[in-house]
Amino acid sequence: MVMSPLNIVILAAGKGTRMVSAKPKVLHELAGKSLLQHVLESAMALQPKQVCVIYGHGGEAVPQAMQQYPTQFVMQEPQLGTGHAVRQAMPHLADDGKTLVLYGDVPLIQHSTLHQMQQAGEGLVLLTVDLDKPTGYGRIVRNAEGDVQRIVEEKDATPELREIKEVNTGILLAPTHELRVWLSQLGNNNAQGEYYLTDIVAMAVEGGVAVHTVQPGQCWEVEGINDKLQLATLERVWQQTNANKLMKQGVTLVDPARLDVRGNLICGRDVEIDVGCIFEGEVSLGDRVRVGAYSIIRSATIGTETQIFPYSHIDQSEVGANCHIGPYARLRPGTKLANEAHVGNFVEIKNSEIGQGSKANHLSYIGDSTVGCRVNIGAGTITCNYDGANKYRTIIGDDAFIGSDTQLVAPVRVGKGATIGAGSTITQDTPEGELTLSRSKQISISGWQRPQKRKK
């Protein structure tokens, strides 16, 4: 089936008073992305000809936050209803093809549902849902044959119409040319004094245009956000959905209710994830990886059989196979660990490569460094990479042994197989296979007494 050219209009002008925030409602985040970003990503997946976002409250904050998307932003001022909002987009849309209307505060609409709407047939397509408690929604009114006749907003509905369970989600797909005509004919003779987009349904019926309905795969796809409670509730729904997918793929989650995926998490076989872990951006966990409790992993690749112990932070890093990380370790952007590397408690690594089998097990900072294979870095070691203006690199050769409490003042190179004595400050390159140390002479002062606290 050949698809008609597609325009997408996203309504994002609402003030969001109930959010009790200076931030525009559509910029509040769910699962690590703004509500509007979720909608835009679903929209872009349909490969539209044009995307138009109607914004209002918050001024330029909305277009500035979404400037990475090829989108037309149009201000709606004043806000006179959904029909008025869509009307603002029409000068930017060509008449050929169809126009899909989405909402910036309905973040979890799925590509599969929108694709189903495209397949529903010619004419007007409405996305509806059946609710046991439809309070607040416009009701879908059908005739005796089951054909859609109109949508009645709850404030304008009779008690009989309010008993209808099928409701309007607001999401619709319409031929662009007909939509333009219908919008020009909208009136505001209703309880709110607004131009309702839903009034186009009766116009379509009167004009003999077919009206189709589609329902989403899950009700949460069409849930809107109006306050922080709804935001938190939908966040947990989405996280539980992610958790269910992971468990069906074979991932062991100690507690599915205590998992946060704020991006895309790809897991191999027999992965185990403890409680309270957060995954952001693009994260890949290899086979048999174990992630300890309350660890945070952002935009990282973790190799097969690596163990990440509790409270570790990994950010924009590459970790090889059979590594041990943590507890309380921090891998900052640009870190690359080869296979079988060990990074222990309270060790921070930044913009550095750590070779196969090398270890930094305690209380160290390794920054802007290249560390060879089978290197042992003692507790309290620091690479002094910054002179107050510029960064410099430290290079440590294979099989070197760095004693505890050593400072390596970059730029400096430690030769292969070299040993650095504990407590040394190294400012010059050290030879291969030799012991290098730099300590002041140890003395004891007879009769010295510690200072005493003065009596008040």
Residue 115 phi, psi (nearest 5): -65, -40
The residue from 177, 212, 324, 362 that is catalytic is 362
Whether the Cβ atoms of residue 83 and residue 158 lie closer than 8 Å to each other: no
DSSP string, 274-294: -TTEEEEEEEEE-TT-EE-TT
Whether the Cβ atoms of residue 140 and residue 205 lie closer than 8 Å to each other: no
DSSP string, 390-427: -B--EEE-TT-EE-TT-EEESSEEEPTT-EE-TT-EE-
Q: Is the dihedral of CA 357, 363, 367, 369 positive or negative?
A: negative
Spatial distance between the Cα atoms of 259 and 34, rounded to a whole number of angstroms: 19
Whether the Cβ atoms of residue 11 and residue 85 lie closer than 8 Å to each other: yes
Give the β-pairing of 382-384 and 407-409.
parallel
Neighbours of 245 (CB within 10 A): 12
Whether the Cβ atoms of residue 25 and residue 19 lie closer than 8 Å to each other: yes
Cα 417 to the center of its chain, rounded Å = 44
CA neighbours within 13 Å on the CB side: how many for 44?
Answer: 12
Which residues 6+ apart lie within 8 Å of 162 measured at CB?
134, 139, 154
**Catalytic (active site) residue 362:** yes
Return the active site residues.
Answer: 362
